[in-house]
Structure 1
C-alpha cells in the first residue's frame, strides 16, 4: 500500500482552530529590540497518540469515528453523553441517577455497577466515580469500534472511547465563552494558551456551571480546571503534563415510574426523591505526564504516567421496585454512599517502520502496568418511606438514617501487559495487520462484611493470564476506497465476588467485522460502512443474596454507516446510522428482579435502529460568517426492563442553531434543543427507574477570542 500522510496528532494544529486566527504555532513573538538577536529555533514535534501508530484512516482495519471540536460545538455538546449521541453505534445506558457516564457500544455495556470506561490520550482514565465527564478540556472524541484489547488491554467488548484533551502548544491566544439557557442554566468557559519561552508553553482551561433543571427541585453546581504545559527539550524530545480537577454537586435522581406499565402518566418534571438529602458530591484529581522522543523520521518512543483519584459521597432517597397504588402511594428506600477509587498507569512504547525482504513493516511494541483500587461503602434502610407520585409532599417525615450494610469492600485490580502490533505491506494495495497482547492480571477482594453474610469479613485473591490476539486485512481498491476485515479477542476483569467471596473469570469476547472505507472530494468527505458480529461470555448477574454470578452469554450483530465532511465549501454533513441486534444466547435466572431470562431476549436499552444527522450551511452577511445548522437524533424502541415486556418508545429530537461572527473576535450563538418538545425517555433500568429527556430548551452564548 502506498505510504499515506502520517496521522501524527499535532496538538498545535488543533489548537489553531480553537484559539482563533492570527496565532502562530511554530514561532514566538519578539520585541523590536530583540530582532537582531540570534535565537535558536526549536522545531515543534508532533505528539503521537499512544497505541495508534502511524496510519492514515484508510489503512486501519477497524471502524473509527473522530468527533472534532467544530462538530462538538455545532452539536451543542457540553458533556460526554452529548458527544456520544453523535455516534449511532453508541446507546445510552442507566446513568446512575445522573452521576456518571454509561453507554453501550455495538450493543454491549460494561459493569452496570461502574461507569463506562474510557481513555484519555490513550490512558485508561474513565474508571472511578468523578461524575459525568465535562467536555471543557476535551479537543476531540474518538469512537474506536470493535475490541481493542490487543493494544489497550482490558476494555469493553463493543469498542473504546478515547478523549483527546486540550494541551499546551506553541501558540498565544485564548477564548472566553459565556452562556445562559433554559432552567436558569449559566456557564462560563475559559481557554488561554501562551508561551513562556521559545521552548515552554502553558494552557489554562476551566469551566464553571450553575443550573436548575426541568426536574423539580434539582439544582447542580459544577466546576473544573485543566491546566497543562509542554516543554520542547530539544529538536527530538518534548515533555507534556496536564492536571485534571473537577468538583460536582448533583442530586441523585432515579427518574420517573411507569404506572400500570405505562409511561407518560407523570410529567417529565416529577422528582420522586427527597430534596432534603442534598446533592451527591463527586471529585476528581488527576495527573498525566508524557515524554516523547523522536529518534528519526521513522522511529519514536513514548513514556507515560497517569494518576487519578476520584470520590463520590452523599445520601439519596430512591424509587423502590414496588407498584404505585391506586391513590398514588409509592414506597422508596434511602441509601448512603461513600465511594473512593484510585487509578495508576505506567506505559512505555516504541513505534516505527522498517523494510525487510521487500516488505514494509509498521511496528508498535510496548509494556504497561496499571492498578485500580475501588473502595465502596453502601448503607441502606427500607421501610415506610412513601410519597404520592401525583401530589408529592417533600419532607413529610424525618429522613431515616441508613443502617444496613449493603456493600462494604475494597477491591484492587493489578495488571502488567506487553503488546506488539505489526502492519505489513505485502504490496502497494494489500496490508495485513497481526498483533497480540499478553496480560498478567490479579484481583484482591476484601469484603469487610455485609448483613447478607452475617457481617463476615473475607479476603480473596485470584490471578489470571490472558492472550488477546488481533488480525486485520486492508485492500486498497484505489486511492479513495479500501476494503478491510478484522478479527479480535477482548477480555474485561469483573468486579466483585461470588457467594464465597471469590472473584470471577474475566468477561471474554470475540469480534469479527468487515467493511468499506472511503475518502472523497480530496479528503474533505470520509466515511465507513461496516458489518460486525460480537460474542461474549461471563456476563455478570447476581444470586438471590445479591452476590454476583458470571453466567450470562450474549451476541450482537449489525451494520453501521458513518459519513462526514464538507459536501461543498459552504455545506457540511455529519451522518451516523446503526442497526444493532443484541440479545442473550443462553437461558439463566436473573435475581435482580427474580425473572427467568430466555435465550434471544433483547439487551437493555439497545435500539435496533439509531440515527444521528447534522447539517451546517455557511453564508456571509455584511462580510461576516453566519452559520445555520440543524440536527436530529432518532432512537428506536428499546427493552426498558430486562426480562419483562416493557419497552421505551422510539423518539426523534430535532435541534437548530445559528452562529454569527460580529467581529473577528466576537461570536454570538443561539441554540434550540428538542425543537418540537417531544416527550422521550433515553434510558431505564426498570419500570420504576426511567430517565425522562429534557423538554424544548434554549441556550444563547457569546465567545470572545483574544
Structure 2
C-alpha cells in the first residue's frame, strides 16, 4: 500500500473520530445541563493564577493523587503516558526518558518538555544531552496532583514552553493533622517505604513533610542492587488576611541502571535482559591527557543527587490588584553511567575465525560457536546543574470584564560537564556477560560487528534569560471570553569547550557568547455553549532558543513553532470529555545523533486529535485517553527525508482504563485495568527502520478499610509484551532495540490516619 493511500486513510480516521466524539458529546449535553465538576488548573495561566477547568481555552489534563496511585508509574516519565498527545519512552529506567509531544520533532531526551513544581520551572531550558527534566524529579506521596498542558498559552506564560508543560502540585497542610505510611514490595525484590504527614504548625501556619527510601535490583537484574534512592520534601504555608506565603524544598538522591538497546537477534528475554553485571560494573578510564585514570561504578546508572526548592507568594493589594511571585532554585548532579552497545552482535564462530582460536572470557569460559559477542562501551557523563528562576506578576481586574496581568520572568542556569564516552570493549553477549579475554573491538569489527569510538569533553555553560509578558482575559459576555497574551524574551549564553579523544585533551576548542531575543504570542476564544459544554479555538506562536549543546554543534537558529487548536469540552451526567484537534509547524530543528546516522536540519508539520474522556455508570468508570496524528518532514538538508514521518512517534496511541468499585465487608475496593495500544513507528528519519505496533495490559486491585489500613496489588504488563520503543539511535542498520519492561507485580500495604 503506498504512502498516499495510507495518509488518506489516516485523515479519514481522524475525521470520523472527531465527528463521532463531538456528536456524542453534544447529544449528551442536550440531555444534561449540570455543570462540569470544578477543578482548579494552575498551569497555562498568567502568573499561575489558576482557572476552573470548565473555563480553560487550552488543552490540559489533570490527575489527582488517587489517579496517580492507580497508574502506579515506575518513573516520572512513565506517568506522562496518561497525558494525550505525549509520547513518553520510559523504557530507559528511573531516569533518562525520551519524551515527545504532538508530533514535534525530537527522538532523544525531551526538547519540548518543561517540568514545574508548584508552578516554578525546574530548569532554565527544556533538555540537554544526557538530561531531560523528568530525570531530576521523583513522584511520591507528597504530590497532590499533576497537570499536563500541551501547546496553547504555554508559549507565553511560565517558561514559555511551546510543547508540553507538566506541573506538579505539592500537598499542603490543613487544620487537621493527617498522614500516610506505606510499604511496597514486588516480585523483583523492591523494598520501598513512603510516608507523609501534614497539619497545623501554629495559627495560620501549616506544614507538610514526607518522602521515601527504596532499593531494588530492578526488573532487568544486573546482579546487584541497581536502583537506590531516597527523597525528603517539606512544604510550609503561612496565611495572612490578604494572602499567603508558601516555601518548599525537596532533597533527592535517587538513581537506577540505565536500560539501553540490546541485540534483538541473540535470543534474549526482551523484558528482563541486562548486559551490565558484576563483570562489567567497574571500569578504570583515562580522564585527561596526562594519563590520569579513575575507576567508575556503572551500577549508579542515571539519576539525580540534588535539591529543588522554591516559594509561592500571593497577596491581594486591594482595588482589584493581586501580586504573585513564583521562585525556584535547582542545584545538583544529574550524572550518567551507561553500558552502551556499539554495532550489532555477531556469533563467536565468526570472531574465532578472525583471532584464529577459541573465544574465551576473563572468567575462563570458552564460548560455543553459536554464542554471541558484541562491542559495548562504558560511557561517563558528569553533569553539574544549577538553575534559578523568578516569575513575578501583577494582576488587575477591571469592572469584572478584563483580567490583565503583567509579568517579569528571569532565570539563570548553568551546566558543567565532563564526558568520557565510547571506551569500547568486547563482551560475551549474554545476560550479565563477561569481558572477552584477549579480544579487541577491532576483532569484533573484523567479524562483522563494530569497533566503537572514543570521545570526551569538559565544558561549562552559563545562560541568563529575561522575559516580559502581558495578558488580558476579556469576558465579553456570559458566554464568550477572549484570551490574549504576548511575551518578549531575551537570552545570553556563555559557553567554553575542551574536547578530545575519550577525554578532554587540555585544549580550548570553543569559547563563545551568544545573545538573541524573540517574541511569542497567543490568542484564544472560549464559547460556553451551555453550563456543561464549551468550544475553544486558539493560535499560538512560540520558539525554542538554542542551548549549550546547540552552541557546541554550531546550531544557532531559533526554532519557531506555530500551533492551531480547536477544542470541545463537556462535563455533566455520566460523561466528562475533552477533545482537541491541533495543527503545528516547526521551522528549524537540528538532529545530532553521531555514529553512522547523519545529522540534519529539517522542518515539520503535524496534525491530530487528542481525546481525554471519562464515563461513569454508577460503580463502573471507563476512561479513554490518546491521540491520532499525522506527521511529515516538509523540508530537510537530507532531501530523501522530505515527506517522511517524524521518527519514533506513533500515528495513534490510546489508553483504555475501566474500573469497578465494590464493597467487601469493612473495605471499600476498586478493581481496575488498563489497555494501551501503540501504532508502529519509524526508528529513524529516513523511515527505513520499522518499530512494530504493540499492546500492553495492566490490572490491579485496591482495598481501603474503615480503620485506615489499605492494600494495593498492581500487575504491570501482564501479557509480558516486548514492544520496542527505539532501535539503535547511532546505527540504524544494527539489529538493536530497547523493549518496554517485562511483567512485574507490586504489592503495597499502608495506613492512613487522622490525629485530630
Q: Does 1:55 align with 2:51?
A: yes
Partner of 1:702: 749
Partner of 1:279: 300
Residues 300-356 of structure 1 deviation map (CA, whole Å, 9 limit, x = unaligned)? 22122211013133643311134535652211222222111111001211234222x
Distance, in Å, in 1 between the alignment partners of 2:517 and 2:178 is 49
1:451 positional shift? 4.6
Q: Does 1:330 align with 2:370?
A: no
3-state SS of paired residue (1:51)? helix
Match of 1:517 among 544, 566, 569: 569
Tell which deviates more after alignment, 137-146 or 337-346.
137-146
Distance, in Å, in 1 between the alignment partners of 2:81 and 2:437 is 40
The total of aligned residue pairs comes to 650
Partner of 1:442: 492
* Contact in 2 for aligned 1:49/1:122 (Cα 8 Å): no
Q: Does 1:643 align with 2:686?
A: yes
Match of 2:171 among 153, 166, 169: 166
Distance, in Å, in 2 between the alignment partners of 1:543 and 1:181 is 37
Partner of 1:365: 406
* Contact in 1 for aligned 2:600/2:637 (Cα 8 Å): no
3-state SS of paired residue (1:117)? strand
> What are the ranges of 5 or more consecutive residues in structure 1 without an aligned counterpart?
11-46, 590-595
Distance, in Å, in 1 between the alignment partners of 2:589 and 2:328 is 29
Match of 2:590 among 534, 540, 545: 540
Distance, in Å, in 2 between the alignment partners of 1:51 and 1:569 is 39
Partner of 1:117: 114
Q: Does 1:215 align with 2:265?
A: no
- What's the TM-score, normalizing by structure 2? 0.79
In the TM superposition, 1:562-573 aligns within 5 A as 562-564=612-614, 567-573=616-622
Distance, in Å, in 1 between the alignment partners of 2:691 and 2:432 is 25
Match of 1:666 among 665, 687, 709: 709
Partner of 1:201: 206
Distance, in Å, in 2 between the alignment partners of 1:347 and 1:157 is 17
Cα 1:323–1:428 change in 2 (3 A) is: same
Q: Does 1:88 align with 2:47?
A: no
* CA root-mean-square deviation: 3.3
1:155 positional shift? 4.9
* Contact in 2 for aligned 1:157/1:536 (Cα 8 Å): no
Tell which deviates more after alignment, 300-309 or 326-335.
326-335
- What's the TM-score, normalizing by structure 1? 0.84
Cα 1:179–1:545 change in 2 (3 A) is: closer
3-state SS of paired residue (1:118)? strand
Match of 1:349 among 371, 393, 401: 393
Distance, in Å, in 1 between the alignment partners of 2:430 and 2:219 is 17
1:610 positional shift? 0.6
Distance, in Å, in 1 between the alignment partners of 2:106 and 2:248 is 28
Partner of 1:339: 383
Cα 1:61–1:161 change in 2 (3 A) is: same
Distance, in Å, in 1 between the alignment partners of 2:267 and 2:235 is 47
Distance, in Å, in 1 between the alignment partners of 2:431 and 2:198 is 52
Cα 1:316–1:100 change in 2 (3 A) is: closer
In the TM superposition, 1:272-671 aligns within 5 A as 272-273=275-276, 274-276=280-282, 277-280=298-301, 282-296=304-318, 298-313=320-335, 315-322=337-344, 324-325=346-347, 327=370, 328-355=372-399, 360-383=401-424, 385-390=425-430, 393-396=433-436, 405-451=455-501, 455-496=507-548, 502=554, 504-521=556-573, 525-542=575-592, 551-564=601-614, 567-589=616-638, 598-671=641-714
* Contact in 2 for aligned 1:177/1:190 (Cα 8 Å): yes
Cα 1:373–1:320 change in 2 (3 A) is: same
Residues 379-411 of structure 1 deviation map (CA, whole Å, 9 limit, x = unaligned)? 13445x1223257632546999x9955332122
3-state SS of paired residue (1:605)? coil
Cα 1:148–1:48 change in 2 (3 A) is: closer
Partner of 1:184: 189
Distance, in Å, in 1 between the alignment partners of 2:419 and 2:623 is 43
1:265 positional shift? 5.9
1:290 positional shift? 1.8
Cα 1:216–1:6 change in 2 (3 A) is: closer
* Contact in 1 for aligned 2:44/2:149 (Cα 8 Å): no
Partner of 2:254: 248
* Contact in 1 for aligned 2:716/2:744 (Cα 8 Å): yes
3-state SS of paired residue (2:526)? strand
* Contact in 2 for aligned 1:560/1:577 (Cα 8 Å): yes
